[in-house]
């Protein structure tokens, strides 16, 4: 069944007969209007979900930053607001950086760690976040589908450790057997950082620019943690997550072929 959230005619036929939907749609590109297009898509999706009699929507969004949200983070938050404003019970899970093969933030960090023997340290690398493993995100999404909840709500979904983006980069590099030297140069602008990242990583300039803008303040949890709702679940240790992501990268596997098995084992209490 074809579904294009920017083509309203395709949404309702795709949702008919479905009890729940996992909304993983995010846009980052060079256009000036992608936040408006994201908002219109979310509005159309909510309307179609209501007409289809859907019972729950799970939305994977972004953490509200400590400072002024960048354009793409503001768009993530706005999308969550729109989805939660409808009649369909909606759970919004807010993550900062996700550790996992194929993810844009992970790709950027991994490429920087792998390719640079030394790196200038712009100011944005001094801010902090709580990186979370992709497997933990998947488990949270599955559990959110079944958890009892009166009305719509949002929850933060952090990893187990708070660290600066520079620490994140260095720890990934050391996990790869490398030790890049970081030299503090606070005068580097986000724009210059974007060009530099696009030059040495697989991230496009548009993606680099949006990601760097989103790292201009701390990405700390500001609401209820989803883990507090999940008995017997806790975020995986940072180092375990990094080693698994590197293993998946080496196998060129997105997602890991082991992911579904591990997720099922954890949900069944076997892992």
Between 178 and 158, whose confidence is greater? 158
Predicted local distance difference test score (pLDDT) of residue 171:
93
For residue range 5-33, list pLDDT tens digits in order: 999 999 999 999 999 999 998 877 667 78
Q: What is the mean pLDDT of residues 52-63?
A: 96
| 8-264 CATH, one of 3.40.190.10, 3.40.50.720, 3.60.15.10, 3.40.50.300 | 3.40.50.720
pLDDT of 121 over the 80 cut: no
Domain residue spans in the chain?
Answer: 8-264
**Closest of 73, 38, 75 to residue 222, by C-alpha:** 73
pLDDT of 103 over the 60 cut: yes
Per the prediction, the chain carries an average pLDDT of: 87
> Which of 15-29, 76-90, 138-152 shows the highest mean pLDDT?
76-90
Predicted local distance difference test score (pLDDT) of residue 197:
78
Q: Among residues of the chain, what percentage have pLDDT more than 90? A: 54
Q: What is the mean pLDDT of residues 97-104?
A: 89
DSSP string, the chain: ----TTSGGGHHHHHTT-SEEEE------S-S-HHHHHHHHHHHHHHHHHHTT--EEEEEEEPPPSSS--HHHHHHHHHHHHHHHSSSEEEEEEES-EESTT-HHHHHHHHHHHH-SEEEE-GGGGSEE--EEHHHHHHHHHHHHHS--SS-EEEE---S--EEHHHHHHHHHHHTT--PEEEE-TT--HHHHHHHHHHHSS--HHHHHHHHHTTSS-----S-BGGGGSTT--PPPHHHHHHHHHHHHHTT-SS-TTHHHHHHHHHTT--
pLDDT of 172 over the 50 cut: yes
Predicted local distance difference test score (pLDDT) of residue 250:
85
For residue range 191-241, list pLDDT tens digits in order: 777 877 777 788 887 788 888 888 889 999 999 999 999 888 899 999 999
Question: Which range (22-26, 85-89, 129-133) has the least confidence?
Answer: 22-26
Whole-structure pTM value: 0.88
Between 188 and 148, whose confidence is greater? 148
pLDDT category at 113 given cuts 50, 70, 90 is confident
**Nearest-angstrom CA–CA distance, 201 and 255:** 20
164: exposed, middle or buried (Cβ count in 10 Å: 0-12, 13-18, 19+): middle
Predicted local distance difference test score (pLDDT) of residue 260:
54
Check: CB of residue 194 under 8 Å from CB of residue 210. no
pLDDT of 75 over the 70 cut: yes
Predicted local distance difference test score (pLDDT) of residue 270:
44
Task: Give the strand pairing for 163-164 and 128-129.
Answer: antiparallel
pLDDT category at 254 given cuts 50, 70, 90 is low
């Amino acid at each position: 069944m074809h579904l294009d959230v920017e083509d309203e005619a395709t949404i309702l036929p795709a949702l008919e007969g479905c009890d729940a939907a996992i909304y993983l749609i995010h846009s980052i590109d060079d256009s000036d209007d992608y936040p408006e297009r994201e908002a219109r898509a979310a509005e159309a999706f909510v309307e179609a979900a209501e007409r289809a009699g859907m019972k729950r929507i799970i939305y994977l969004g972004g953490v509200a930053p400590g400072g002024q949200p960048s354009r793409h983070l503001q768009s993530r938050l706005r999308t969550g607001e729109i989805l939660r404003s409808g009649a369909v019970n909606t759970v919004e899970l807010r993550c900062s950086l996700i550790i996992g093969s194929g993810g844009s933030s992970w790709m950027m960090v991994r490429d920087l760690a792998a390719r640079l023997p030394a790196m200038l340290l712009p100011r944005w690398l001094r801010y902090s976040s709580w990186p979370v493993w992709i497997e933990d995100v998947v488990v949270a999404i599955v559990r959110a589908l079944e958890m009892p909840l009166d009305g719509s709500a949002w929850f933060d979904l952090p990893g187990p450790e708070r660290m600066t983006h520079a620490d994140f980069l260095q720890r990934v590099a050391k996990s790869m057997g490398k030790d890049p030297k970081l030299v503090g140069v606070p005068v580097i602008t986000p724009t210059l950082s974007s060009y530099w990242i696009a030059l040495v990583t697989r991230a496009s300039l548009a993606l680099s620019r949006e990601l760097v803008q989103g790292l201009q303040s701390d990405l700390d949890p500001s609401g209820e943690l989803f883990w507090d709702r999940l008995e017997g679940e806790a975020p995986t240790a940072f180092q375990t997550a990094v080693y698994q992501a590197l293993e998946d990268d080496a196998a060129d596997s997105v997602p890991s072929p082991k992911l579904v098995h591990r997720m099922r084992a954890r949900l069944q209490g076997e892992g």
